[in-house]
Amino acid sequence: MAGYLFTLPEISNECALMCLFEYFQSMKILMVLENQFPDDERVEKEALSLIKAGHEVHLLCATLKKERVGDENYKGIRLHRALSTSFLYNKAKIACLRLPFYFMFWKKQVGNLLCAETFDVIHIHDLPLAEVGYWAKKKFGIKFVLDSHENYPYMLDMAPYTKGIAGKLMYSFDAWKRYEREMIGKADIVITVCKEMSDRMNDLVPRTYYHVDNTISMELFPRPEPHPTTAGKIRLLYVGGITYHRGLQNVIKGLALIKDKSKYSLDIYGKGAYAGEIKDLVLALGLEEMVHFPGYLKFPVEAVKMCAYSLGVISNLRSVQTDCSSPNKIYQYFYYGLPVLVSDMNSVGNIVREHQVGVVYKDNSPEDCARKLEQLVTLDLEDMATRAHKLCLEQYNWDVSVKQLIAAYESIR
């Protein structure tokens, strides 16, 4: 053995200490996502950023396809896919606080991995799986990170599927609020998507929160192109899901109240359960020449099409969920030089007012929306567009946002 030791290259004590420091500072992280992957951009950005920071990241996620079960390497992330059923994937999580199937399935999957390999941290993506993270913390002695993508009790309370007979039997708003309070108190780290969400949670459980804004990674998106001249026409763009709570009906009703309709158009890219009603509303108000449905905008490859528009629309109805969330659409609009028309939700409204990158209308008021739309012709939209793009480059981008994620992990090294 001595002979082998003498053949090693000589290194200074300082270098040896640095190597040991780096070795013991890196962590092995198990992320758990109840959904399929790589469908979730935020999860991918977080995982890749933690790998870049020197950690080893595994991701346990669901799949509905038997042929995809198993392990693979995805951009350096070690994926472990577990076969789920449609019931577990779509419905069981709603009833998880009353029926055990959801937690039983995920504890088995997580337990199998933690018995096979040693991890330092379990990083749970969103509230439903928090019970599994806390269980793993107690049973295996590892750190528990709760990453709240949504204000989950309030998001569920808005969802149509909790309003029917079955939904009312399986779901309780009060139970989900108690569960959220309990889990954010038991996690070693709580990550949120914006300051407003952190503030809301801090009223429940005073502690340190790390808000990682849901901004874009600019390297994943095509570079912006110059905006074409639109000869005084204001071209509005909406990209996203089409549901009642997205509030598009208020913008469309607002457009119907505008006196000079020739100066405005609205293109709606997306799909959803409320799309039929929105199209019927357009027909009923006689806005077929003004409001169009071009189809679906594929991200990120087609995102550069945003450059053809004057303003982006974020029209969500105001609620605790929308007051305290961070829709990544606003940062995509900013990157492509679009100021925004938004309802007066706290989170996005605060950004728009502070930085003067758009206009804010009163929630659920087509009349105020119409007034704000008519004001647009008096504003310097080019100056707003420049500010919006600069704001994304300097503040609201993933290179800045990720610093909070890295700081969170530094706190438990």
**Each residue of 32-43: pLDDT tens digit?**
999 999 989 999
User: What band does 11 get if pLDDT is binned at 50, 70 and 90?
Assistant: very low
Distance between CA atoms of 32 and 108, rounded to whole angstroms? 13
pLDDT for residue 159: 85
Q: Is the pLDDT of residue 312 over 90?
A: yes
Residue 358's alpha-carbon distances to 91, 160, 211, 295, in angstroms, are 39, 31, 24, 25
The overall pTM is greater than 0.85: yes
Query: Which string of b and e fits 292-320 if b means at least 16 CB within 10 Å?
Result: ebeeebebbeebebbbebbbbbbbbbbbb
| Per-residue pLDDT at 230 | 67
The pairing of beta strand 70-74 with beta strand 264-269: unpaired
pLDDT computed for residue 235 by the predictor: 97
The two tokens of residue 388 are 């919006």
In this prediction, residues 372-380 reach a mean pLDDT of 94
Q: Which two tokens stand for residue 208?
A: 């340190």
> CB neighbours (10 Å) of residue 98?
11
